[in-house]
Amino acid sequence: MSERRRRLRLPWRSSARISADIDDELTFHVEMRARELMATGMSEGEARREAVREFGDLDYTRRYCASLDRRGDALLRRTQWLEDLGVDLRHAWRTMARAPGFLAVVLLTLALGIGANTAVFTVVDRVLVASLPYREPDRVVRIYGTDVPDGIQEGQVAAGDYVDYRRRQRTFQDLAAFTWADYTYVGPDRPEGMTGLGVTANFFDVLGTRALLGSTFVTGDDSLIPAAVVVLSHSAWKRIFGGDPGIVGRRIIMSDYPRTVVGVMPAGFISPLREADFWMPRSLAPLLDDANRARKFRNLGMIGRLAPQRTVAAGSADLAAIARDLEQRYPESNTGIGVVAVPIRASFAGPVRAPLLVLMGAAGLVLLIACANVGGMLVARGLARRHEFAVRAALGAGRGRLARQVLAESMALALAGGLLGVALAVRLTQALVALARPALPAMGPVAVDGRALAFACGITAITGLVLGLIPVRGGGRLASRQALHEESRGLTGGPARSRLRATLVVAQMATAVVLVIGAGLLARSLSRLRAVDLGFRPEHVLTFRVELRGTKYDSAAQVIALYEALHERLRALPGVVAVGSTGAIPTEGGARSALDIYGRDVPPGQLPAVGYNSVSDDYFRALGIPLREGRSFEEQDNEKATPAVILSEGAARHFWPGGGAVGARVRLGPDPSQPWAVVVGVVGDVRQDGAAGDVLPTAYVSARQDTWAGRTVVARTYDDPVAVASAARRELRAIDPNVPITELRTMTTVVDESLAGRRLPLWLMSAFALLALVLAAIGVYGVMAYAVTMRASELGVRAALGAQRRDLFVLVLSQGMRTALIALVIGLGAAVAFARSLSSLLFGVAPLDLTTFLAAAAILVACAMAATLIPAQRAMRVDPAATLRGA
Amino acid sequence: MARAALDVLPGTVDVLILRTLAWQPMHGYAISQWIRDRSGGVVAIQGAALYQALHRLERQGWIAAEWGASENNRRAKFYELTPRGRTQLRQETASWREYAAAVSKVLAPA
């Protein structure tokens, strides 16, 4: 009986099976009892009835037993499964621990792959996906003014137009406007420059964000002059006011005017246009009342909240129709002026969207390589363990059980790699954000969060699954009798597995080619950008920004006086060659203006646009912009004199092709009541919009004749410009201790930062490409070394038959090269598609740049060759005698 | 049969089953017969109570079950005592004896 019991021990049963078993068991009992009763003389029917009666509650017993058995079985199933898994994992750990080097390489590879992806995802998610801190953010749009004649696509709108848009639109809940506002807060220690936004009172209602402390603005009639109040950003509240919990209600002096703090926004709140320290209500009345500015001075940014069920396209079309009507009505100011609405997220992500997506793709490729690499190593190990599997199968382990063991191993590997990867990603994200900061939108802190962790878990699980499936699939028959045979014949691994490994290596190398080409194209773009002549000499120049605000600087004369004094003092510093100042330094963009030329009679709406900048006398000398003709600005160009204009070479050539620009009479700006100015000189072209921008024909005016209170000072020095930085601070403080210095940098740093957005993808892509190359080289080495070991006897025989050592070397090398060439063909093909997707990031380089492609091919071949050399040398040293003896 | 069999006292079913299976593995019906015979027909376990107890004890791991063929070649479920069940039987027998002795003392005529 004991033997029967062993045989019939069931692992677990289905629910129906359990019920059937119980019915069988109980029926058996009742029937046996009935038979016994019949033996005492009862009839069959009587006996059966009596047996059932005696039994008691049959139905309840049936249900009771079934529920007990089901629970027991489920438990059994779970414990059995967990026990098996535990065994598998212990087994995995034991085998791995025996090869710590292998384990370390695998974990490092996986950690790099998963870490890089998680870090890039963290940034991508934050910038492109994560929800914005607004109520129903999908309904919030950013509205840009467009200016067809000037080629402006993401510009501002004029106050008069804003009022029309707001009143006449039918698709928005409301529109709000905002503009730059810069103030100086004079705190107990030192003056603090604050950058913020002047906004219409309904600004926060349109965004739908509440204050963390206090409140935002009370909305009401916009025509009322807004109260002197201000809402602070979380970071300004912490930074400038030390997180004072009693800040709400406090009066602070901002550029001489008292303002009451009414609220503090929550951390992570971001607003369009710029990273703001504060928001204050701004009345549009002064703009609307000035006929020359109401529709011509386009300085307002616009946002809107769409009405429910309205699309961005519908909102955009609605506003565009109003814009067309305004063109008809005010041709002088509005010809060519349009408007376009985009989802607010797009306005934040705009320029970094393409590079981020490319990087996400590149990171994906790295993970692919990591998987292929680790997969290859696992296959190689699987070969070594073939015997083990065969033995286990022979001992009765099922195919599923073996597959699960492989899967448990790969999952454990992926999990450990994933954990390391997340730790790595935390660091990588910091580095990435630090690197990308100048190019990223103002989004507040970016760190690995729950979503990034979920992503990491996801890719870890996929990685584990892929890693587990590679050997299972490639192995085909994990455990066959054939394996035992092969093992006993001293052969390890069938041709299927070698082919699989070779395929994986080809995949790795092909992917590496793609990444190397990507990095190469970006590197060439950046070097082209660096080689672009910006039109000035950035070396040895110190620059800093000065903003004059408050009652002391209400008049142009006061502003001019301060800058003259500052220039004077800086010039007197030892080591300083020349000092100038400007409204906007090159690479940081600048203003535009219409250019009217005396005697040409161009209608006002069709005047050409030129770059416009207000500069001091010595500005051109300080930046090293060459004077081509005429003279620079001089003391005589003061507010009483005839306005003087200096044109860029491009402007002079474009508008006076036959020469004769100097002495011509021109007028800048749309106001026909302005007096005509005289062109006094021509200077070299400057790339005001940075290396990638166009050279815009530009008109310069004297700082004495168009005085801007906020200016950037440039000081050329003999040596290191940083050496005079503290002296510059001291001199400004001596003139007015309440004026802050901001953005103190060297001009080379300014140029560098203007390329930051370009450098980020290049650095990352290069790092990925390098990683890919190293992994691919390891893969090639592994396969070739294995092939040499496999073919040792064949090589030995060849040597014995008289093959030269050189021949053996070439034999192995050519095999390695064949793999590399296949990979190269596939990789170059894939790179064509990849390079096209990069095109928006390229400058001065075609996506299918031959040099880059050839260089990448050479790098890959060299890499494969280097990885093949050692195995090839080993092939040379095969001892024919040993082979013959062994055979 | 002089008188009707007594229904078994609640709480004693488990120990009786364990004791029976300590003799040899058997199916449910055989267990009920064995108990009846050994008690001289005095103690009878109702089928419902018996099978509920059997499945409960199986779940507790004190007995194990296998399907097999009965004496008349019917498919029947056989139960056997596990090592843990044997330990349990020893404990329950001891405490039952103690209890029975205590009850007898109380009931003894003064």
**Residue B99 within any structural domain of the chain:** yes
Backbone angles phi, psi at A361, to 5 degrees: -60, -45
Q: What are phi and psi of B6, to 5 degrees?
A: -80, 140
Q: Is B71 on the interface with A (CB under 8 A)?
A: no
Q: Which residue of A has its CA nearest to B66?
A: A5
Cβ–Cβ under 8 Å, residues A246 and A163: no
Q: Which residue has the higher pLDDT, A86 or A478?
A: A86
Residues of A in contact with B75 (CB under 8 A): 24, 28
Q: What is the mean pLDDT of residues A556-569?
A: 92
Q: CB–CB of B66 and A24 under 8 A?
A: no
Alpha-carbon dihedral sign for residues A292, A294, A295, A298: positive
For residue A670, give the nearest of A737, A725, A604, A752 by alpha carbon. A604
The pLDDT of residue B75 is above 50: yes
Is A577 a residue whose pLDDT tops 60? yes
B68 contacts in chain A (CB < 8 Å): 1, 4-5, 8
Work out the average pLDDT over A575-584.
Answer: 93
Phi and psi, residue A874, nearest 5°: -65, -35
The confidence band for A100, taking pLDDT boundaries of 50, 70 and 90, is confident
A676 pLDDT tier (thresholds 50, 70, 90): very high
Residue A204, both tokens: 């926060």
- Structural domain includes residue B110: no
Q: Does residue A349 or residue A461 have the better pLDDT? A: A461
Query: Is pLDDT at A389 greater than 90 in this prediction?
Result: no
Tell which wins on pLDDT, B91 or A87.
Answer: B91
What's residue A169's pLDDT?
93
Structure tokens at A726: 């503290």
Of the pLDDT bands very low, low, confident and very high (cuts 50, 70, 90), residue A475 is very low
Average pLDDT over residues A755-776: 85
Tokens of A380: 């190689």
Condensed to tens digits (0 to 9), the pLDDT of residues A117-136 reads: 999 999 888 888 777 889 89
pLDDT value at A52 more than 70: yes
Q: Quick check: A579 pLDDT over 80?
A: yes
Q: Which residues contact A630 (CB under 8 A, 6 or more apart)?
A: A646, A662, A679, A680, A681, A682
Q: Which residue has the higher pLDDT, A260 or A446?
A: A260
Residues listed for chain A? 887
Residue A150, pLDDT > 70, answer no
**Which range is least confidently modeled, A97-106, A375-384, A605-614, A811-820?**
A375-384
Q: What is the per-residue pLDDT for A399?
A: 65
Asked if the model's pLDDT at residue A618 lies above 90, the reply is yes
Do residues A157 and A165 make contact, with C-beta atoms less than 8 angstroms apart? Answer: yes
More confident position, A850 or A483: A850
C-alpha–C-alpha distance, residues A219 and A216, integer Å:
9
Q: What residues of B are in contact with residue A65 (Cβ under 8 Å)?
A: 51-52, 55
Name which residue leads in pLDDT, A821 or A79. Answer: A821
Q: pLDDT for A101-111, tens place per residue?
A: 778 888 888 99
Q: pLDDT value at position A606?
A: 76
Q: Is the pLDDT of residue A283 over 90?
A: no
Share of chain A above pLDDT 70, in %: 90
Mean pLDDT of A326-352: 86
CA atoms within 13 A of residue A389's CA, in its CB half-sphere: 30
For the CA atoms of A109, A114, A117, A121, the dihedral, rounded to the nearest 10 degrees, stands at -160
Q: Which of A8, A29, A54 sits opposite B28 (nearest CB)?
A: A29
Residue A298: pLDDT over 50: yes
Q: Domain count of chain B? A: 1
Span of A417-421, A437-441, A560-564 with lowest mean pLDDT? A437-441
Q: Tell me, what's the pLDDT at A144?
A: 93
Confidence of residue A397 (pLDDT cuts 50, 70, 90): low
The residue among A480 and A554 whose pLDDT is bigger is: A554
Distance from C-alpha of A573 to C-alpha of A148, rounded to nearest angstrom: 47
Q: Which of B1, B73, B77 to mutate to test the interface with A (most CBs of A within 10 A)?
A: B77
Strand B26-27: give its sheet, edge to edge. B26-27, B75-81, B63-69
Nearest residue, CB atoms, A68 vs list B27, B47, B55: B55
CATH number at residue B22: 1.10.10.10
How many residue contacts between A and B have a Cβ separation below 8 Å?
Answer: 76
What local confidence, expressed as pLDDT, does residue A887 receive? 47
- Is residue B2 a part of any domain in this protein? no
* Of A8, A57, A71, Cβ closest to residue B48: A57
CA dihedral (A706, A712, A717, A721) in degrees, to 10, reads: 180
Question: Average pLDDT over chain A, rounded to whole?
Answer: 84
Dig out the tokens for B108 from the structure.
């003894």
Task: Indicate whether A36 pLDDT > 60.
Answer: yes
Residue A218: which pLDDT band, with cuts at 50, 70 and 90? confident
Position A491 scores a pLDDT of 41
**Structural domain boundaries, residue B52:** 7-105
Residue A494 pLDDT > 80, yes or no? no
Question: Average pLDDT of A485-514?
Answer: 70
Is A305 a residue whose pLDDT tops 90?
yes
Nearest Cβ partner for A65 among B25, B51, B68: B51
**Residue B88 covered by a domain:** yes
pLDDT of the residue at A664: 93
Check residue A496 and give its pLDDT. 64
Q: pTM of the predicted model, to two decimals?
A: 0.69
Three-state secondary-structure class, residue A668: strand
Q: How confident is the model at residue A172 (pLDDT cuts 50, 70, 90)?
A: very high
Please check the confidence at residue A332 and state whether its pLDDT lies above 60: yes
**Residue A333, pLDDT above cutoff 50:** yes
pLDDT of residue B3: 44
Q: Is B11 within the bounds of a domain?
A: yes
Domain ranges in chain A?
2-97, 149-335, 352-528+756-886, 549-738
